[in-house]
Amino acid sequence: MSELSSGPLLELDGLTRVFQNGNRRRVVLKGVSHRFEAGRMYAVVGPSGCGKTTLLSLASGLDSPTGGTVRFRGRDIADLGLGTYRNRHAATVFQSLNLLTYMTAVQNITSAMEITGVKGGRRAERAAELLELLGVEAADRNRRTLQLSGGQQQRVAIARALACQVDILFADEPTGSLDVETASGIIEVFRKLAHDDGKCVIVVTHSKEVADACDEVLRLQRGKLVTHA
Ligand SMILES: Nc1ncnc2c1ncn2[C@@H]1O[C@H](COP(=O)(O)OP(=O)(O)OP(=O)(O)O)[C@@H](O)[C@H]1O
């Protein structure tokens, strides 16, 4: 299907995920379907253990479903190649951020660009531009990320995800450990990415503030999507 496909950007179609540990079989997702569009921000909410992170892992190509399909622009991501999907189209900001703390903010971003094969020169300049967009002060951009605050680290992790020029940004509990003011700054960044830059932003969250800021809220309960509004 062409890049100009008029269908949804991302489609989850009847996703199931079963974990088998020895004799113990656990059905975590039970036929989850949903369509996601560019330019919108989505929240995935639900009680602890209902399968939110599992759903995010499948939708972002970090894990494969037991049944069902994830389609990006109409194409099964398994056919596209999970590596290609993750490198070119979908980036994840993990709960643990996974920054290389001995490297500076700029270096974290330029090394991600290198690993994911982002073409073109001026990587450090582009990293600095992204950090500026996300409100990381010039003085902090060349400090080791270990020395930055939680909120600053969160912004660096988002900038690193964006550096890979992806269409979809996934984030797992992006405001979990942040104070209210920093959290609202991050929410605003996500909203702008969706509404001004046309990204599809999908956030797993327990926060009502984050969910309220989203265009659509998907509620998971015992592995099923029960409502979306
Ligand atoms: N690799 C795995 N092997 C076995 N069980 C797993 C595995 N990964 C997740 N689970 C189980 O699947 C269920 C859903 O986990 P998941 O992390 O998706 O929930 P969640 O809704 O994100 O929870 P929380 O809000 O607490 O982060 C949990 O019971 C978890 O123990």
The number of the ligand 1 atom at minimal distance from the alpha carbon of 206 is 25
Q: What is the pLDDT of residues 127-167, one digit of tens each?
A: 898 898 888 899 999 999 999 988 888 889 988 888 877 89
CA 118 from centre of chain: 18
Nearest to 165 by CA among 108, 112, 203, 228: 112
| Dist. CA 176 → ligand 1 center (Å) | 17
Q: Examine the pLDDT at 67 and tell me if it is beyond 80.
A: yes
Structure tokens at 205: 């969250």
The dihedral built from the CA positions of residue 105, 109, 115 and 121, taken in this order, carries a sign that is: negative
Q: Which residues line ligand 1 (CB under 6 A)?
A: 19, 21, 26, 28, 46, 48-54
More confident residue, 32 or 159: 32
HEC sequence for 87-111: HHHEEEECCCCCCCCCCEHHHHHHH
| Amino acid, res. 172 | D
Residues 111-115 have a mean pLDDT of 83
Among protein residues, the one with the nearest Cα to ligand 1's atom 26 is: 48
Model pLDDT, residue 184: 86
Among protein residues, the one with the nearest Cα to ligand 1's atom 5 is: 19
Three-class secondary structure of residue 120 per DSSP:
coil
Q: What is the pLDDT of residues 41-56, one digit of tens each?
A: 999 999 999 999 999 9
pLDDT confidence bin for 228, thresholds 50/70/90:
low
pLDDT confidence bin for 5, thresholds 50/70/90:
low
Model pLDDT, residue 50: 92
**Least confident residue range of 16-30, 77-91, 112-126:** 112-126
- Ligand 1: residue of 20, 25, 28, 56 to mutate (most ligand atoms within 8 A of CB) is 28
- Ligand 1: residue of 25, 29, 53 to mutate (most ligand atoms within 8 A of CB) is 53
- Ligand 1: residue of 29, 54, 95, 207 to mutate (most ligand atoms within 8 A of CB) is 54
Residues 6+ apart with CB under 8 A from 76: 69, 70
**ipTM exceeds 0.95:** yes
